[in-house]
Amino acid sequence: MYPHERSLVKRLANKPFALIGVNSDEDKQKLKTRMKEENITWRSFWNGPKGTSGPISAAWNVRGWPTIYVLDHKGVIRYKNVRGEKMDEAVDTLLAELEEAPPASTDN
């Protein structure tokens, strides 16, 4: 079910990249079983027993599922609801920006 996400995680395995999911299944045990069955290898948080009305979706103002946010290395939302090739482009752009950025100062 998640072929694009799997390929993205594999392609960026040695890059400063993390895919994080939030799952809306109401039953946590069923979620764990499904994650194994569907080979979801990236970090995925459970949204609680209220499913789509859980605390994570409330905090992030999620109105529909799936909602996709692409954050930069500082945690700033840079893209929302990009999918497929557009998601790849967004991630590649952010990684290129990170590689081009001057190193952080270590002066105290």
Q: What does pLDDT average to in each consecutive run of 10 residues of the chain (108 residues)? A: 89 94 93 93 93 94 90 93 94 95 72
Q: Is residue 102 part of a domain?
A: no
* Domain assignment present for 105: no
- pLDDT for the residue numbered 33: 94
In this prediction, residue 19 carries a pLDDT of: 93
The whole-number pLDDT of residue 66 equals 87
pTM of the model as a whole? 0.80
Identify the pLDDT of residue 101.
Answer: 81
**Does residue 34 sit within a domain?**
yes
- Write out the residue range of the structural domain in which residue 68 sits: 3-97
Give the number of domains in the chain: 1
Q: Which two tokens stand for residue 96?
A: 């290129």
Q: What are phi and psi of 23, to 5 degrees?
A: -105, 140
What single-letter DSSP state applies at residue 105? P
- Distance, in Å, from the CA atom of 102 to the CA atom of 108, rounded to the nearest integer, reads 17
Asked if residue 43 belongs to a domain, the reply is yes
